[in-house]
């Protein structure tokens, strides 16, 4: 990273341990980035470079596209392996969640238990946006995400746990906090100010629109953001990165007990590209519950990919002036 942040070339030459190897392939890269979101700079960058290597080899064929059997793009091309316990071990998730909620008119207790990550299938979307990485960050940092993604949220509230101004000033100046060792925001001794130029922690209350027959109330959602400018390990121009880790600590259910969102995780990576473009890769794992459609059905998975693509198109349209949104 540039400025007061770590220079990979210097670190590689002087550190006792070399940077870790980049993960290989989409599945490994997606899980790696969730697991290592709080890692040191070198480890974090290895995950970014794993994604870029996958993109150059395979992902570029998926840019802006969704599943289409007729066009030779089966759903499998957009799926990612399930998350495992080690991947989410650092996240402050509820030990037990509501696996099934009974109708309020029923005297029976809700079914509680540990989450089953295998029931939250994952998908990925890839888009090239008409945004600089800094412009995409500016939109995604806003507290009123319901005004950015009008069709996705009925309402949205965001509280900044760490200072937004410090994080955004770091983007403007390209001067970031050097992260030499892994950290955990959930640790009692974590000092947020030490990371404020590179990491932004937020708590959110998200009120989604009804999706695929799933109608749920507003629920708490965590978004943790990280950015920087990196020097490629194999040489070349520095590139900016803005990443977001999203997760729901618990489960949320609708008032009748038959619709819910049991689990939700995502990793989003926005990478600077030539021509003031941004490559946006978004991997999402979710377990919506509905009597209408199963979370692992082809219809649900395809819908999730296309929904992610639409969000990227929304950002692109705002950046190039095609769409206007409410000023913050």
User: Any idea which of 27-36, 79-88, 231-240, 310-319 has the lowest mean pLDDT?
Assistant: 231-240
pLDDT at 12: 34
DSSP code at position 322: S
Selected residue with higher pLDDT from 3 and 56: 56
For residue 295, count CB atoms less than 10 angstroms from its CB and return exposed for 0-12, middle for 13-18, buried for 19 or more.
buried
**How many domains in the chain?**
1
Q: How many CB atoms sit inside 10 A of residue 96's CB?
A: 12
CATH number, domain containing residue 51: 3.30.530.20
Average of per-residue pLDDT across 5-12 = 35
Structure confidence at residue 102 as a pLDDT band (50, 70, 90): low
Q: What's the predicted TM-score (pTM) here?
A: 0.92
In a domain, 43, yes or no: yes
Give residue 11's pLDDT. Answer: 34
Which of 240-244, 254-258, 274-278 is predicted with the least confidence, judged by mean pLDDT? 254-258
Residue 307 has pLDDT above 80, yes or no: yes
Name the pairing type of β-strands 153-160 and 277-289. Answer: unpaired
Q: Is the pLDDT of residue 7 over 60?
A: no
Would you place residue 49 in the very low, low, confident or very high pLDDT band (cuts 50, 70, 90)?
Answer: very high
Length of the chain: 328
Lookup result for tokens 């697991």: 35
SS3 233: coil
For residue 101, what pLDDT band results from cuts at 50, 70 and 90?
Answer: confident
Strand 199-208 relative to strand 153-160, pairing = antiparallel
Residue 17 CB coordination number (10 Å)? 9
Q: For residue 149, which of 320, 322, 308, 268 has the smallest C-alpha distance?
A: 308
pLDDT of residue 17: 55
Nearest to 213 by CA among 147, 305, 297, 144: 297
Residue 231 within a domain:
yes
- One-character DSSP codes across 266-308: EEEEEEEETTTEEEEEEEEEEEEE-SS--TTSHHHHHHHHHHH
Question: What pLDDT score was predicted for residue 111?
Answer: 85
- In a domain? residue 324: no
CB atoms within 10 A of CB 83: 23
CA distance 248 to 76: 25
Residue 72: CB atoms within 10 A of its CB come to 8
Q: Residue 39 corresponds to which tokens in the numbers above?
A: 């890692």
> Does some domain include residue 293?
yes
* Contact present, 301 and 78 (Cβ < 8 Å): yes
Within 13 A of 57's CA, how many CA atoms are on the CB side?
9
Q: What is the pLDDT of residue 213?
A: 61
User: pLDDT value at position 108?
Assistant: 63
User: 281 in a domain, yes or no?
Assistant: yes
pLDDT at 106 (0 to 100): 61
Domain boundaries, position 81? 8-319
Instruction: Please report the pLDDT score of residue 257 as a whole number.
Output: 79
Lowest mean pLDDT among 20-29, 133-142, 171-180, 294-303: 294-303
Residue 223 has pLDDT above 90, yes or no: yes
* Residue that wins the pLDDT comparison between 258 and 213: 258
Question: Which helix (H) or strand (E) is 224 found in, with range?
Answer: strand 219-230
Query: Does residue 138 fall inside a structural domain?
Result: yes
pLDDT value of position 10: 32
Domain membership of residue 325 (yes or no) is: no
Q: What is the mean pLDDT of residues 202-231?
A: 90
Residue 103 covered by a domain? yes
Residue 1 has pLDDT above 80, yes or no: no
């Amino acid at each position: 990273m540039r400025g007061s942040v770590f220079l990979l070339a210097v670190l590689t030459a002087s550190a006792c341990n070399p940077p870790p190897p980049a993960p290989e392939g989409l599945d490994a890269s997606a899980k790696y980035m969730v697991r290592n979101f709080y890692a040191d700079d070198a480890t974090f960058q290895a995950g970014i470079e794993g994604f870029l290597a996958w993109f150059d080899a395979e992902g570029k064929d998926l840019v802006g596209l969704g599943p289409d059997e007729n066009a030779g793009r089966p759903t499998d091309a957009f799926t990612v392996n399930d998350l495992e316990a080690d991947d989410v071990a650092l996240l402050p998730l509820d030990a037990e969640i509501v696996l099934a909620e009974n109708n309020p008119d029923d005297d029976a207790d809700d079914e509680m238990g540990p989450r089953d990550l295998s029931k939250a299938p994952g998908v990925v979307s890839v888009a090239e946006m008409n945004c600089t990485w800094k412009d995409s960050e500016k939109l995604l940092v806003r507290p009123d995400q319901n005004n950015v993604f009008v069709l996705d949220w009925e309402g949205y509230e965001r509280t900044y746990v760490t200072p937004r101004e410090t994080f955004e000033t770091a983007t403007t100046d390209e001067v970031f906090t050097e992260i030499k060792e892994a950290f955990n925001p959930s640790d009692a001794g974590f000092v947020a100010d030490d990371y404020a130029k590179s990491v932004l922690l937020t708590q959110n209350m998200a009120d989604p629109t009804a999706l695929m027959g799933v109608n749920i109330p507003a629920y708490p959602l965590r978004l943790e953001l990280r950015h920087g400018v990196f020097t490629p390990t194999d040489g070349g121009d520095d590139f900016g990165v803005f990443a977001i880790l999203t997760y729901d600590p618990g489960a949320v259910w609708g008032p009748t007990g038959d619709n819910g969102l049991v689990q939700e995780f995502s990793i989003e990576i926005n990478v600077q590209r030539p021509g003031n473009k941004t490559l946006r890769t978004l991997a999402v794992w979710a377990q919506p519950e509905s009597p209408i459609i199963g979370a692992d059905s082809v219809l649900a998975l395809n819908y999730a990919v296309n929904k992610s693509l639409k969000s990227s198109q929304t950002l692109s349209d705002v950046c190039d002036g095609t769409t206007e949104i409410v000023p913050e």
